[in-house]
Amino acid sequence: MRNISFSDRLVMLADNALKTIAGGYQVTSRPSPAKNADTSELTSEEAKHSAGLMRINHCGEVCAQALYQGQALTARLPEVREKMEQAAAEENDHLEWCANRLSQLDSRVSLFNPLWYAGSFTIGAVAGAIGDKWSLGFVAETEHQVVRHLQSHLAKLPQSDHESRAILEQMKEDEMHHATVAVAAGGADLPAPVKSMMHLMGKVMTSTVYYV
């Protein structure tokens, strides 16, 4: 296998960004968890609320893609880069599931996705440049916060929205696995101020993307 140059990697990253935002990304063979869920009967208000929550989750997966790709660009060890790229590939399933559920709810993804992708990619690239153990620690903390965020959404979903609930349950399981892998690979525990900043950014994202 030939070595991939830095310029080649930049082209691949640009391609990934376009596919993440516009569609066309590669997914695994896993079917959507919603496929085997009971059919939901939602009122118009319940459907609107579920769509707002699923739009947040879709945008979160866009951010996750950007974080992983940014970290893969600047990771120093090949095995760390491979872990980042593998995690990004697995997150594509979540993107697909959330986008399909939004369509079923007669809604759309966030108009702010390109901005959140750009910001998250930059943060990921900086984390990767600081050092692999901090980059992996950043992944672990991101996934831990995402798990808590998903848990809160499971509590907020309408009880009758079985399809969205099934999707979020599987996403939560996947994110916990990614966090465990990052810690096992040598991820460092981030300082409390960094964790607080990440939490604050998450609140800004969720409060805007729910509506737009």
Residues tagged in the binding site annotation for Fe cation: 61, 91, 94, 143, 175, 178
Q: Which residues are within 8 A (CB) of 27 and not within 5 positions of it... i.e. 6 or more apart?
A: 92, 93, 95, 96
Query: In the block, which residue shows the tokens 């990253």?
Result: 13
Q: Quick check: 84 and 71 in contact, CB under 8 A?
A: yes
d(CA 166, CA 168): 6
How crowded is residue 43: how many other Cβ atoms within 10 Å of its Cβ? Answer: 10
d(CA 199, CA 114): 20
Q: Which runs of consecutive H residues, i.e. helices, occur in the chain?
A: 6-22, 44-74, 78-104, 113-130, 132-156, 162-184, 192-209
Is the alpha carbon torsion for 63, 146, 138, 132 positive or negative?
Answer: negative
193-200 long-range contacts, Cβ below 8 Å, gap at least 24? 194/141, 195/141, 195/145, 198/141, 198/142, 198/145, 199/145
d(CA 201, CA 63): 11
